[in-house]
């Protein structure tokens, strides 16, 4: 059947294109016949005998076989350098007449305008530019030439030509930016790479190929066209992928021919090779596909409205859009219901920016003034940054100023609609100097490196016609070292506009806008009878916020003034309900499911959920997360992205969602955290999870009882923590620290004996655990704490013995100050529970020793508070004071020996059979300055 790749097919598409794709209508790299003619010319220069031998090899074989026969002959007569010359000569024949000479050894492909690009190549590039979510790459090709990459570059898209190393793995990161595409040249590249031609080369074993191919094609649909399927290791690896239980991709294979019967007959070996994939319905074959016209037809079939298509296609920056009056006029007016959703936290869009229902606060006017300064500058390009925590209104002000610049100023405005779009310095440096340009980007902390390169290149070129209008979360800009660049040496950086809270004049505009939407707009402010009282309440609420780096005082005040805690839960319930029936486009599960994973992470203080983890959970390509999940949730619940993480608009919203999921919808948060840990642990093995996300998730079990919203039952929080810790132990069985986490989770939940038993069971298995030396002292200290919580004499004895053992020389690693500080404070409690009223007993002197040593650790205020209490009680009891550290260490050893003597536990007693502990390493630690 004929092929139509609809937007609704779900999976993003990658392309594999063969030799005919690089040539049509006499332009571009010559087909096989032209390539063989070049070989004939080179062979003829060596003498007639060589030519005769070549023709014998070519006689009576088909086009593909002729090519391999000719190249096999070349390798038998000439060295690899001559073959490279033939390849480079064939590629350079695609340059336009009169174009400047290009030296392949220079490592560059030249300017796209100097090459004869085909209709198919340009169509593929335009398709990627128009719909990067659905067509993100990679592109795979058997061609040696740079034509596909040059077509992408012509559209402002950065391309990365990549070839196989000897082991055959596609060793490159997966591109997630909208303006970057990997091109895998399966048989080599025309420069800086050997090229593969003969059966011996093409069929060489590449053991790593299938695994890496799965990585790059998982969750996607590989569309194969202009390619009959070489009998090579790549095709064999693709067949293996299609038969693998772990592969989640599909293949669409296109033939030019119109007769299915002839296609099957002519490609019988290929169909046999893919028999497993056909049986599992992972590969589909189509006929009558013309690669030169297909992409233009597909673009017409995307259904993109003319104004949006023009905004994307005319933008020189891939992934960005040109904001014009025509585009803005084509947008549907905002409804009152949508305005209320925005007031409740939905993410602003251009529709909000042009709507009279959304108030224009003073920040927007200030930004317009700054744009005017940039447009008027004749000395240098200009940068304006608006900085704030999330939820301070920076995105709305940014878009409103953008609309003004596009409609009322003489400039071209380029807007970045997604955080997945990069900033191509090559394109920025070449922007037409005859125009004034305003480049608008939210979440600009992700662009710092490219912004710096743009600033350098524009400065060096003496340009002053580009203004950068940027917004960033303040903490993110600092974390990405945005303030450590010497911006003022390269451009005119205007004073940052820093937002926080709300002034009374702006509060008046906000309250009036809410009032226009009636009860739904005012919500909790309806109880305030006058306009002035409502304004005062809003201002007071914003100023009462305990602002953290990621939580804005404006939106926090908005929530406090419009919703009580219970009312906010009621509100999010109405938003969550329809999400239960909305499937994730191209993935598995619903938007409700995705929201729970995101909200649970944000609710416990994480900076959101790494989008790669969410992509894995939802069986979705990471390229699709922003559109399929973040964008969809942003319209309802204000989901946003920050430094590759997805979070809700405010921690209070995340907490409300988390509570509502269990108390109103009956969701099981144990399952949510189990899945979070499972996918984080798996991706973390390959370094595919951020540090901000990996550690907090795999170690969440020990903290969830305390960090989950306290509107959830205390016991329930404890059970959820245990489930998360159990997941970490299951999916990270080689690690010792997750055992400690599970013990803590059990202890926090009140399962003290289970925690003690866990330590005892795991003790024989510790050998060979990762980072054993790093955590072994902590393992024994946690064991001691669990034992102490049993509140029995034997529990307290085990507590004292294990805590002392954790600091002793019986364990190999060095003692750290943190080890000493924590354990000395803990020993004060352990020995306290063993006191007999005798002031100079071994346990009393042990408590005094722990206190004395604790003061040597430069304790923090909390630890110092414990030590002050111990010291006061010991002084009151008349317990002696050690003369120095050495005597204190002797007393500690004697107290530990006394505990060991009373212990009725052979396992603990055998840790040190004679019961005498030494503390040389502790002494060395305390001696350090």
Look at residue 550 and tell me whether its pLDDT is greater than 70: no
Asked whether the beta carbons of 172 and 182 are under 8 A apart, the reply is yes
Average of per-residue pLDDT across 363-385: 97
The bridge status of strand 609-610 relative to strand 321-323 is unpaired
Q: How confident is the model at residue 875 (pLDDT cuts 50, 70, 90)?
A: very high
Average of per-residue pLDDT across 21-36: 60
Look at 57-66, 566-575, 587-596, 657-666 and tell me which has the smallest mean pLDDT.
57-66
Asked whether the beta carbons of 731 and 678 are under 8 A apart, the reply is yes
| pLDDT top residue among 165 and 376 | 376
* pLDDT tens for each residue of 196-249: 665 555 656 666 777 788 888 888 899 999 887 777 777 888 888 898 888 888
Peptide bond into 138 cis (omega under 30): yes
Average pLDDT of the chain, as a whole number: 91
Residue 205 is predicted with a pLDDT of: 63
Classify residue 81 as exposed, middle or buried by CB count within 10 Å of its CB (0-12, 13-18, 19+): exposed
User: How many C-beta atoms lie closer than 10 Å to residue 378's C-beta?
Assistant: 6
* pLDDT tens for each residue of 745-762: 999 999 999 999 999 999
* pLDDT tens for each residue of 306-359: 999 999 999 999 999 999 999 999 999 999 999 999 999 999 999 999 999 999
Look at residue 896 and tell me whether its pLDDT is greater than 80: yes
Residue 6 is predicted with a pLDDT of: 46
Q: How confident is the model at residue 686 (pLDDT cuts 50, 70, 90)?
A: confident
CA distance 535 to 529: 11
The secondary structure of 276-329 as a DSSP string is: HHHHTT-EEEE-S--HHHHHHHHHHHT---HHHHHHHHT-SSTT-EEE-HHHHH
CA distance 880 to 900: 23
Residue 201 is predicted with a pLDDT of: 58
Look at 83-97, 473-487, 643-657, 859-873 and tell me which has the smallest mean pLDDT.
83-97
CA distance 869 to 637: 49
Residue 7 is predicted with a pLDDT of: 40
* pLDDT tens for each residue of 822-842: 999 999 999 999 999 999 999
Helix axes 32-44, 48-58, angle to 10 degrees: 150
CA distance 849 to 845: 6
Look at residue 578 and tell me whether its pLDDT is greater than 90: yes
pTM for the full predicted model: 0.87
* pLDDT tens for each residue of 487-536: 999 999 999 999 988 999 999 999 999 999 999 999 999 999 899 999 99
Look at residue 26 and tell me whether its pLDDT is greater than 50: no
Residue 700 is predicted with a pLDDT of: 98
- Percent residues over pLDDT 90 in the chain: 71
Tokens of 717: 């929080």
* pLDDT tens for each residue of 5-21: 544 356 889 999 987 67
Look at residue 22 and tell me whether its pLDDT is greater than 70: no
Q: For residue 693, give Cα distances in angstroms to 246, 669, 688, 689.
A: 25, 18, 10, 7
* pLDDT tens for each residue of 419-432: 989 999 999 999 99
Look at residue 186 and tell me whether its pLDDT is greater than 90: no
Look at residue 62 and tell me whether its pLDDT is greater than 80: no
Asked whether the beta carbons of 13 and 5 are under 8 A apart, the reply is yes
Q: 892 CB contacts (<8 Å, ≥6 apart)? A: 804, 827, 846, 849, 850, 853, 917, 919
């Amino acid at each position: 059947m004929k092929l139509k790749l609809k937007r609704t097919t779900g999976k993003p598409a990658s392309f594999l294109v063969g030799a005919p794709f690089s040539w049509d209508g006499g332009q571009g790299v010559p087909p096989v016949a032209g390539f063989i003619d070049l070989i004939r010319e080179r062979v003829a220069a060596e003498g007639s005998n060589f030519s005769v031998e070549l023709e014998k090899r070519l006689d009576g074989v088909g086009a593909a076989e002729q090519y391999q026969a000719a190249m096999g002959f070349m390798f038998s007569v000439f060295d690899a350098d001559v073959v490279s010359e033939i390849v480079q000569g064939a590629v350079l024949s695609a340059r336009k007449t009169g174009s400047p000479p290009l030296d392949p050894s220079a490592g560059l492909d030249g300017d796209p305008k100097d090459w004869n690009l085909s209709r198919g190549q340009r169509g593929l590039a335009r398709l990627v530019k128009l719909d990067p979510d659905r067509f993100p790459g990679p592109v795979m090709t058997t061609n040696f030439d740079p034509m596909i990459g040059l077509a992408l570059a012509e559209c402002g898209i950065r391309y990365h030509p990549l070839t196989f190393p000897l082991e055959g793995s596609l060793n490159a990161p997966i591109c997630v930016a909208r303006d970057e595409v990997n091109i895998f040249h399966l048989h080599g590249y025309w420069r800086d790479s050997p090229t593969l031609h003969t059966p011996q080369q093409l069929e060489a074993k590449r053991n790593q190929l299938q695994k890496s191919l799965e990585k790059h094609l998982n969750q996607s649909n590989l569309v194969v066209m202009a390619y009959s399927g070489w009998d090579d290791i790549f095709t064999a690896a693709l067949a293996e992928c299609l038969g693998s239980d772990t592969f989640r991709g599909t293949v669409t294979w296109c033939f030019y021919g119109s007769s299915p019967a002839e296609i099957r007959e002519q490609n019988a070996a290929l169909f046999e090779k893919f028999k497993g994939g056909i049986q599992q319905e992972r590969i589909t074959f189509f006929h009558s596909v013309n690669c030169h016209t297909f992409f233009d037809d597909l673009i017409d079939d995307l259904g993109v409205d003319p104004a949006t298509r023009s905004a994307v296609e005319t933008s020189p920056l891939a992934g960005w859009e040109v904001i014009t009056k025509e585009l803005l006029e084509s947008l549907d007016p905002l409804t009152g219901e949508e305005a209320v959703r925005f007031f409740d936290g939905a993410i602003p869009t251009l529709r909000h920016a042009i709507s009279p229902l959304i108030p224009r606060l003073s920040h927007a006017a200030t930004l317009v003034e700054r744009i005017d300064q940039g447009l008027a500058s004749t000395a240098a390009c200009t940068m304006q940054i608006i900085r704030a925590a999330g939820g301070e209104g920076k995105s709305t002000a940014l878009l409103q100023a953008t609309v003004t610049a596009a409609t009322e100023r003489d400039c071209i405005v380029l807007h970045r609609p997604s955080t997945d779009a990069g900033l191509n310095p090559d394109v920025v440096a070449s922007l037409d100097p005859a125009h004034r340009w305003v480049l608008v980007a939210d979440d600009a902390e992700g662009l710092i490196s490219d912004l710096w390169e743009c600033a350098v290149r524009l400065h060096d070129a003496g340009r002053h016609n580009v203004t950068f209008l940027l917004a960033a979360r303040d903490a993110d800009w600092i974390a990405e070292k945005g303030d450590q660049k010497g911006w003022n040496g390269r451009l005119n950086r205007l004073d940052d506009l820093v937002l926080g809270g709300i002034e009374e004049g702006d509060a008046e505009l906000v309250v009036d806008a809410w009032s226009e939407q009636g009860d739904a707009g005012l919500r909790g402010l309806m109880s305030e009878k006058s306009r002035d009282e409502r304004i005062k309440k809003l201002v007071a609420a914003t100023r009462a916020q305990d602002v953290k780096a990621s939580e804005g005082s404006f939106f926090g005040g908005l929530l406090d003034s419009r919703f009580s805690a219970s009312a906010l839960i009621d509100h999010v319930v109405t938003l969550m309900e329809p999400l239960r029936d909305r499937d994730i486009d191209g993935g598995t599960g619903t938007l409700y499911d995705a929201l729970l994973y995101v909200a649970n992470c944000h609710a416990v203080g994480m900076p959101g959920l790494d989008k790669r983890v969410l992509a894995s959970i939802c069986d979705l390509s990471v390229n699709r997360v922003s559109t399929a999940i973040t964008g969809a949730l942003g319209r309802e619940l204000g989901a946003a992205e920050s430094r590759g993480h997805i979070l809700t608009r405010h921690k209070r919203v995340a907490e409300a969602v988390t509570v509502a999921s269990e108390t109103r919808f009956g969701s099981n948060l144990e399952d949510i955290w189990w899945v979070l840990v499972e996918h984080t642990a798996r991706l973390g093995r390959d370094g595919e999870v951020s540090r901000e996300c990996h550690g907090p998730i795999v170690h969440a079990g020990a903290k969830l009882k305390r960090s989950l919203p306290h509107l959830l039952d205390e016991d329930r929080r404890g059970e959820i923590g245990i489930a998360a810790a159990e997941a970490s132990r299951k999916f990270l069985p080689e690690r010792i620290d997750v055992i400690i986490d599970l013990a803590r989770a059990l202890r926090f939940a009140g399962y003290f004996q289970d925690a003690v038993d866990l330590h005892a069971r795991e003790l024989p298995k510790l050998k060979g655990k990762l980072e054993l030396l790093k955590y072994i002292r902590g393992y024994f200290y946690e064991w001691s704490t669990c034992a102490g919580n049993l509140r029995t004499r034997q529990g307290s004895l085990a507590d004292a013995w294990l805590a002392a053992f954790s600091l002793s020389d019986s364990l190999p690693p060095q003692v750290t100050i943190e080890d000493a500080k924590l354990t000395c404070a803990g020993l004060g409690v352990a020995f306290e529970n063993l006191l007999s009223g005798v002031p100079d007993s071994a346990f009393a002197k042990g408590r005094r020793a722990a206190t004395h040593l604790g003061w040597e650790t430069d304790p923090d205020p909390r630890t110092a508070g414990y030590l002050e209490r111990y010291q006061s009680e010991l002084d009151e009891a008349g317990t002696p004071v050690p003369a120095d550290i050495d005597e204190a260490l002797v007393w500690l050893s004697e107290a530990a020996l006394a505990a060991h003597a009373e212990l009725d536990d052979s396992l603990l007693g055998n840790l040190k059979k004679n019961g005498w502990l030494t503390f040389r390493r502790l002494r060395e630690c305390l001696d350090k300055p």
